[in-house]
Amino acid sequence: MSGFAVNWLNLRETADLLARDGDLLSRACQWLADSDKDPVVIDLGAGTGSTLRAFTETEIAANRSLTWRLVDHDASLLAEARRRYGESHTLETLELDLTKLDELPLQGARLVTASALFDLVSSAFIADLVNLLVAQNEGQPIGLYAALTYNGATRWEPPHPLDKQVLAALNHDQRRDKGFGPALGPDAANAMQQQFEQAGFRVWAADSDWVLGEADIELTGEFIAGIGRALADHALVDSQELQEWVLFRHSNLESGSCVVGHTDLLVLPGA
């Protein structure tokens, strides 16, 4: 499973980097640059270090000495991150079940980050995270940069009569319990914005859609196959019709395109 995870993360890397909203990423980097100390960044569900890579490509972050605390439940992904960046960056890694938020090493942290994570978690998880950051802000200002949260919108070219039904089933499946309680799925970004604003934080949101075309055939193919696997026994779509949809999508990989909706959020302490 870990080998598959590395392959999937590698496949989506370019699409993720292109999709991130540049303005919010720059604002997050500026938040780090405005610190009077060398800032610490805690990356949740860090994987092989995709968020670190995104920040490294920005001029603002490149000019600051950052310490990255990479947190993930998968030791093999953290080992890969250390192999790639252990010599070029100041890294600390922690293997941790992310449901144990009270064990996060927040000491000295200026920013919490995550990529493609929060659509997997529950409303209760977000509430706990909000409370944790509220408490942390009593001693030091800390923000949150959450990128590439799936928002439930997917558009295909060429169209197929089953597209809407497949999307409805996919969005229903996204709300399954992924280990954090009933997942927010496509509602995650809106729920996060509402909860953080109610707690007094300033929140900025921006689209960060995957736009997949001819150059992304391998990623799109795996995305299609993943939908087929996830919905194989789903009550909202007939299994035979689903397989016909999967075959149609695969047959149009070279000439078709796909837009997968994501949202980026930047959350900073209130004035």
User: According to the model, what pLDDT value does residue 271 have?
Assistant: 67
User: According to the model, what pLDDT value does residue 63 have?
Assistant: 60
16 lies in some domain? yes
Element (H, E) at 246: helix 239-251
User: According to the model, what pLDDT value does residue 112 have?
Assistant: 98
Q: Are 30 and 60 in contact (CB under 8 A)?
A: yes
Residue in the structure block whose two tokens are 């993720």: 16
Task: Indicate the number of domains in the chain.
Answer: 1
Write out the two tokens for 226. 């993943």
User: According to the model, what pLDDT value does residue 258 have?
Assistant: 97
228 lies in some domain? no
User: According to the model, what pLDDT value does residue 1 have?
Assistant: 30
118 lies in some domain? yes
159 lies in some domain? no
Report the predicted TM-score, pTM, of the whole model to 2 decimal places.
0.95
97 lies in some domain? yes
User: According to the model, what pLDDT value does residue 2 have?
Assistant: 43
Q: What is the pLDDT of residues 213-240, one digit of tens each?
A: 999 999 999 999 999 999 999 999 999 9
204 lies in some domain? yes
DSSP 64: S
User: According to the model, what pLDDT value does residue 209 have?
Assistant: 98
User: According to the model, what pLDDT value does residue 62 have?
Assistant: 59
Main-chain dihedrals φ then ψ at residue 137, nearest 5 degrees: -70, -15
Residue-number span of the structural domain to which 100 is assigned: 2-154+179-211+261-268
User: What CATH number corresponds to the domain at position 84?
Assistant: 3.40.50.150
Which segments in the chain show pLDDT lower than 50? 1-3
Element (H, E) at 135: helix 123-136
3-state DSSP assignment of residue 2:
helix
